[in-house]
């Protein structure tokens, strides 16, 4: 009897950390649902690389800030793969790099909806399938979710801190059926970090003596 292939859904999988995670899970034999919002060409590239590793890939265009779109995306993954074993909540935005007094309500909503609300609703809709599979959730937060820096990133820090504590609580709630973890990367050489460097007027970001820029490893 053939063992059913396990499947993963990764949000924000078109580039950067999301793409690296997609390829790593594909190397371990999981079918991969590649979520993206606007980066269609890059998402196709990720899916093609996944399929080169001999596993199925499913392109899932969805705005993860829209809970109805998230619900439909999870249902599509379940229908395509026959279940869901892993959810990686990776999609995120850097938000405005501004002093507290200059941040608008619209900027708050745009950042928190992607960085925190999306994590909540992706978990909410994936729980039944993950519980049936005794599956796993990995939420990608940030080192800035563990402590601020006072450099105009208060909105980003707040949203990622929310992910950290949301993970703590949901891990207790869903145990022992579903394992829930959070990772808090430091500086990773992705387009988001490069955009941050440009926004701050410093070109490519430079890391001080206590750290170094990390680049997502891509399987060959």
Write the CA distances from 54 to 28, 48, 64, 102, 137, integer angstroms.
10, 10, 28, 49, 24
CB contact at 8 A, 67 and 121: yes
Retrieve residue 181's tokens: 């973890």
156 is catalytic: yes
- Out of 19, 47, 156, 162, pick the active-site residue: 156
- Helices 16-27 and 40-52 meet at what angle, rounded to 10? 20
Q: So which residues are the catalytic ones?
A: 156
């Amino acid at each position: 009897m053939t063992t059913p292939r396990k499947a993963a859904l990764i949000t924000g999988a078109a580039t950067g950390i999301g793409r690296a995670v997609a390829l790593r899970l594909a190397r371990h034999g999981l079918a991969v649902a590649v979520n993206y919002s606007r980066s269609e060409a890059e998402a196709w590239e990720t899916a093609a690389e996944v399929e080169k590793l001999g596993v199925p890939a499913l392109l899932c265009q969805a705005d993860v800030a829209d809970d109805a779109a998230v619900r439909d995306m999870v249902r599509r993954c379940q229908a395509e793969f026959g279940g869901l074993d892993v959810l990686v909540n990776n999609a995120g935005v850097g938000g405005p790099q501004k002093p507290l007094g200059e941040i608008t309500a619209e900027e708050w909503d745009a950042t928190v909806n992607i960085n925190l609300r999306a994590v909540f609703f992706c978990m909410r809709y994936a729980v039944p399938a993950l519980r049936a599979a005794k599956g796993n959730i990995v939420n990608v937060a940030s080192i800035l979710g563990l402590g601020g820096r006072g450099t105009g990133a208060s909105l980003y820090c707040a949203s990622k801190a929310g992910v950290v504590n949301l993970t703590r609580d949901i891990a207790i709630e869903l145990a022992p059926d579903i394992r829930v973890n959070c990772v808090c990367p430091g500086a990773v050489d992705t387009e988001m970090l490069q955009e941050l460097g440009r926004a701050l007027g410093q070109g490519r970001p430079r890391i001080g003596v206590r750290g170094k820029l990390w680049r997502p490893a891509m399987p060959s």
